Amino acid sequence: MPVTLCLDFGNTRLKSAIVSEGKVSEEILIDNDVESAIQTIIQEYEPQNSILSSVIDHNPAVETLLERKTRFHKLNHLSKIPVTTPVGKPETIGADRLALAAAAATIFPKLNNLVIGLGSAITYNFINKNNEFLGGGISPGMEMRFKSLNAFTAKLPLIKAEWNFPLVGYDTKTNILSGVIFGMAKEIDGTIDAYAEKYDNFNVLLSGGDIHHFADRLKNKIFADPYLIYKGLYAISEYNQ
């Protein structure tokens, strides 16, 4: 079966996945964007196709390598995608958001889909039942909130995320954990409720690196898939072949 290498270069991590017939067989974390790191993946998995979503200033030699070794597509606002983007400045839409929108439209067509990406930032991406990506919202992600509390105060420490914490924090650490993680869960639930009041045939998808901290904390019914962005990238790659 043809194999597609889907690469997602985000602000926090560089990730990739091996996808065939829409199914992710393996996710591969990448240490950095040097050519040798990508070459190792290509040699091991021998992908015929590749697609890159990047929101950083990555090493341009990576694209040259992918073009030489595979049928390569770089995702941008000029790409053919299974959704339309009737927004004021489509060139400003992040490639990762386009991939999430494509995944929603491919997996759940003819629904009003809200895709929530939990990464460096939380992105709310709304694709209506006509497969129009209308936009949404962006707010700080979990790590950004932890770091900002430390950076913009004199004495608050930098806290790492943990699963178990009380609603009512009893020390500085648990106060921050409750404020950030519980607060984010309520923000996400509130945003979902606001969309649900406005749109019928409404569906919610959750993805991103912090998905495991929130999938079980939300009161709303959601479709949670940590590989959603890869499935969107694969759909766009096939769309552009």
* Interatomic CA distance for residues 218 and 189, integer angstroms: 6
143 three-state secondary structure: helix
Cα 224 vs. chain centroid, distance in angstroms? 12
Q: Check if the beta carbon of residue 96 is closer than 8 Å to that of residue 7.
A: no
Tokens, residue 234: 């694969």
SS3 content of the chain, % helix, strand, coil (to 5): 40, 25, 35
By annotation, the residues acting in catalysis are 96
Which distant-in-sequence residues (6+ apart) come within 8 Å of 206 by Cβ? 115, 116, 118, 214, 215, 218, 222, 223, 224, 225
CA distances in angstroms from 158 to 24, 168, 173, 179, listed in the order given: 35, 19, 9, 14
CA angle 32, 18, 215 (to 5 degrees): 85
How many secondary structure helices (H) and strands (E) does the chain include? 8, 10
Q: Check if the beta carbon of residue 201 is closer than 8 Å to that of residue 111.
A: yes
Of 70, 67, 63, which Cα lies nearest the Cα of 2?
A: 70
